[in-house]
Structure 1
Amino acid sequence: MVAPARAEAAVTSPRGGGPTGPTGTGRRKPRISFRHRASAWDRRYSPYLYISPFFLLFAVVGLFPLIYTAWVAVHDWDLIMGQGEFIGMENFAHILGERAFWVSLRNTLSIFILSSAPQVVVAILIAYLLDYNLRAKTFWRMGVLVPYVVTPVAVALIFSNLFGDRYGLVNSTLQAIGIDAIGWHSDVLPSHLAIATMVNFRWTGYNALIFLAAMQAVPRDLYEAAAIDGAGKVRQFISVTIPNLRPTIIFVIITSTIGGLQIFDEPRMFDQYGRGGADGQWQTMTLYLYELGWTRSDFGLASAVAVLLFLLIVAIGLVNFVITRRISSSEAKR
């Protein structure tokens, strides 16, 4: 009876934990409950689940239309007859050979430059004024947002009448002070200035609120230290405010670039015909795309213009990214 007892003791754990395993340690792998497993899965996979609706929505309304537009651009696609034969890059070659495309590209870049640069500068100045302890500051801050709330069609109709060639308020005022009337609807640069004014009217207040939020995040200790060192308001604005606004400025420039290159409502409603002028004085790429698709009923050519516009936006975005990276690296070295 002694031998079986010794044998039993030999196969049991020295700590009384049961039979020993192959290694002889006597430890078993602890059993994880389903609750702990679910908690681990939640911590690991729930963030992806929370952000998945955005990516699903983007895939449906953003990525798929982009891919499908590229597919249409390489086919002979009629509005009525539908998809035709595969023609490769012929639509792109045809578009690049048309004078109207290059005119629309010139107009798009011109209106973009005339609207984006003044828009950012004026928005920063307005935000700087709103950052002070003004009376009824909520009223003023909401007031700058009113033009953004107004529909683009209403803004375009109002400004098209203001910049009327004969009976517009702007020309009437110029003639009253002895300046000749300007052909806002007949000349190239004046029409671009008028359309850029519409864009600035709508978006300057919106960007000013973005800059205001960034200014309020700047530590007030920096201004107090600058004031102790003898810096005035202008010097504080240049040396303290602007450097802290650099990421926000880059963000606004990129968003205004994307929106400015896709401008459609303002030039479309600038006159009663909506074709960009008699000789395409202010016909943008989006208007040219619209004309190809719905006037000429050629979706292949229109899709080719859309792809070229997308590539233009990506190219300018990459330029902004490179400039941003250089600025960030130079600031890090300092």
Structure 2
Amino acid sequence: MSYRAPLARPAERRRWSYTRFQQRLAPYVFTSPFFILFAIFGLFPLLFSLFLAFHLWNPLDGLGNWKFVGFENFQLALDARDQFWVALKHTVWIGLLSGVPQHLVALPLAFVIHQFLRRWQGAISTVLFLPYITSAVAITIVFGMLYSERLGLLNYVLGLVGLDPVRWLAQPELVPYSVATVVFWRYVGWNVILYLSGLQAISEDVYEAATVDGASAWQKFRFITLPLLRPMMFYAFTLTIVGNMQLFEEPFILTGQGGGSGGAALTSAMHIFNTGFRDLDMGYASAMSWLLFLAIFVLSMVNNYLFSRDGGRS
């Protein structure tokens, strides 16, 4: 009697199971909204602006009606006579006027609060943080009223001491300082909070040992606080560089799209906005956007070099 091997059974189909779905598919399903929104509102505009930087396109002509011009937009922006360089110079100047005082005030103030005002640290931090979370439009409108030549509080105070009113937003030499004051007032509290969080991460044993050795408050600040706060200082300076190089709301609301008298407050972001949405030259505006990104990247790398562990001496 011959032996006959049993017939192979067809492979059973894998049945759908909720457990299998949870283990394999659920993570992708639940995280997919983020990636979908990022692709639509983040990645696509980024790639599209890079595409437009090499084309001449008026958005009123519709999609597809663009002309390839190569590096012509970049060459135009890099011309020393172009308005882009003037706007970039204004941006850097206003950034220095507002950014440097922020840290010169925020760091010592955070140290004083941490060392001597701990009992009221929560209340003080809340008050200092309020300008940062308040609408930039509301803050700028209030400062615009303070700067008013005839009805502003500043000129009213100057009149009380017998001084003539000052045209804070009409004199080209004063406009950058007026804008920088608004930016400083809005972000100095944010930097204080950053430095306070960095100070709280420093062990109290270090300060106690320094006190036993007879170190003064200034010596503690110079030889303990500053070296140990270097990572937080690097982070705070980086945020200041990125934010100030993209400055738009404060000068736009205070001085209008032209940057005030003589264009003294015309920043790079405002110039890009005017080129793209007023002049409808999206290709040129995209090229300037990427050049501004390159400028921010270079400044961030310089900041990284200066705050490296050896202070940039390697």
Q: Considering the TM-score relative to the shorter chain, is it more than 0.5?
A: yes
Correspondence 1:66 to 2:49: no
CA-CA distance at 1:187 after TM superposition:
2.8
What residue ranges of structure 2 are gaps of 5+ in the alignment? 1-19
Q: Give 2:67's match in structure 1, choosing from 63, 80, 85.
A: 85
Separation in 2, partners of 1:116, 1:51: 38
Equivalent position SS for 1:140: helix
Equivalent position amino acid for 1:288 in 2: H
Superposed, which structure 2 residues align to 1:139-178 within 5 Å? 139-178=123-162
Contact 2:257/2:274 (<8 A) preserved: no
Structure 1 residues 287 and 329 mapped into 2: Cα distance closer, same or farther (>3 Å)?
A: closer
The answer for the alignment partner of 2:56 in structure 1 is 76
Larger deviation, residues 321-330 vs 63-72? 321-330
Q: Give 1:276's match in structure 2, choosing from 251, 256, 259.
A: 259
Separation in 1, partners of 2:312, 2:246: 31
Q: Give 2:210's match in structure 1, choosing from 226, 231, 248.
A: 226
The answer for the alignment partner of 2:77 in structure 1 is 95
Deviations along 1:169-204, one digit per CA (max 9) or x if unpaired, are 223323433444433222334211111111111111
The answer for the alignment partner of 1:192 in structure 2 is 176
Contact 1:188/1:281 (<8 A) preserved: yes
Equivalent position amino acid for 1:218 in 2: I
Correspondence 1:265 to 2:265: no
CA-CA distance at 1:276 after TM superposition:
0.8
What residue ranges of structure 1 are gaps of 5+ in the alignment? 1-37
Contact 2:195/2:232 (<8 A) preserved: yes
Contact 1:292/1:301 (<8 A) preserved: yes
Equivalent position amino acid for 1:103 in 2: V
Equivalent position amino acid for 1:85 in 2: K
The answer for the alignment partner of 1:126 in structure 2 is 109
Separation in 2, partners of 1:162, 1:222: 46
Number of residue pairs the alignment of both structures matches: 288
Superposed, which structure 2 residues align to 1:295-310 within 5 Å? 295-310=278-293
Structure 1 residues 232 and 326 mapped into 2: Cα distance closer, same or farther (>3 Å)?
A: closer
The answer for the alignment partner of 2:16 in structure 1 is none
Equivalent position amino acid for 1:157 in 2: I
Separation in 2, partners of 1:70, 1:276: 27
CA-CA distance at 1:315 after TM superposition:
1.0
Separation in 2, partners of 1:96, 1:323: 27
What TM-score do the two structures reach when normalised by structure 1?
Answer: 0.77
CA-CA distance at 1:49 after TM superposition:
11
CA-CA distance at 1:319 after TM superposition:
1.1
Separation in 2, partners of 1:51, 1:203: 33
Equivalent position amino acid for 1:109 in 2: V
Equivalent position amino acid for 1:110 in 2: W
Equivalent position SS for 1:128: helix
Deviations along 1:118-140, one digit per CA (max 9) or x if unpaired, are 11121112212321344443221
User: RMSD value over aligned CA atoms?
Assistant: 2.9
The answer for the alignment partner of 1:4 in structure 2 is none
Separation in 2, partners of 1:50, 1:120: 41
CA-CA distance at 1:284 after TM superposition:
0.4
| Greater radius of gyration (CA) | 1
Deviations along 1:64-112, one digit per CA (max 9) or x if unpaired, are 4222211101101102013411001112222334542222111100011
Instruction: Give aligned-pair identity as a percent.
Output: 34
CA-CA distance at 1:61 after TM superposition:
4.1
Structure 1 residues 243 and 73 mapped into 2: Cα distance closer, same or farther (>3 Å)?
A: same
The answer for the alignment partner of 2:96 in structure 1 is 113
Contact 2:275/2:282 (<8 A) preserved: yes
Structure 1 residues 260 and 56 mapped into 2: Cα distance closer, same or farther (>3 Å)?
A: farther
Structure 1 residues 104 and 329 mapped into 2: Cα distance closer, same or farther (>3 Å)?
A: closer
Equivalent position SS for 2:262: coil
Separation in 1, partners of 2:199, 2:217: 14
Contact 1:186/1:281 (<8 A) preserved: no
Contact 2:306/2:312 (<8 A) preserved: no
Superposed, which structure 2 residues align to 1:249-260 within 5 Å? 249-260=233-244
Contact 2:87/2:268 (<8 A) preserved: yes
What TM-score do the two structures reach when normalised by structure 2?
Answer: 0.82
Superposed, which structure 2 residues align to 1:21-36 within 5 Å? none
